[in-house]
Amino acid sequence: MKPEFTYTTRYKLDKSHFSETYDESVPANHSFSKYKKSLILAVIGIALLYLTDHSPYFAWFMIGLAAVDALSVRFDKAWWLTRQMISKAANNELTLTINEDGVHSQSIYVNSKISWEDIVKVEQTKQGWLLHLTKGKTYLSNRCLSDEVIEFLTAKANN
């Protein structure tokens, strides 16, 4: 009988980890369509400014909102990284356990268990693994995984 597979490691949730997580889990989309909402807000603001006799404050508010939205699209990664780095989980050590039951992450602020039945798809990326769930996805970096666990995840991906 084959012994049950178990792998446990610890790593710090630092800026490099969050940056790699963003790069591997968020699809790169630099198309103009991401700015659609900003453009609509700007057009509404300009229309209010030039086509109505009301006070221009609301029109300028809409134009400013369009600019803020465009900046949030342009600097999406920086904004996401900043939010992660000011979270309670940042710069804390995480214990990751991967076994036959699933993936368990535990730190001072996080206690998460994902069973293999809840994982829809296991996808290998350039620097790690994406575990697709019905609502969202989780990223595992290769830099904290051994060759045995990479082999185990490869087997799960092929099933």
Whole-structure pTM value: 0.80
* Six token digits for residue 104: 């368990």
Task: Read off the pLDDT of residues 2-21 as tens digits, 9 standing for 90 and up.
Answer: 678 899 999 999 999 999 99
Read off φ and ψ for residue 2, nearest 5 degrees: -75, 130
pLDDT given for residue 31 in this prediction: 82
Task: Find the mean pLDDT for residues 38-44.
Answer: 96
Burial 28-52 (b: 16+ CB within 10 A, else e): eeeeeeeeeebeebbebbeebeeee
Q: At 13, is the secondary structure helix, strand, or coil?
A: coil
pLDDT given for residue 154 in this prediction: 93
For residue 55, pLDDT beyond 80: yes
CA separation for the pair 110, 40 (Å, rounded):
39
How many domains in the chain?
A: 1
Domain that holds residue 129: 1-21+29-159
CA separation for the pair 109, 90 (Å, rounded):
10
For residue 1, pLDDT beyond 60: no
Nearest Cα neighbor of 132 from 42, 25, 52, 17 is: 25
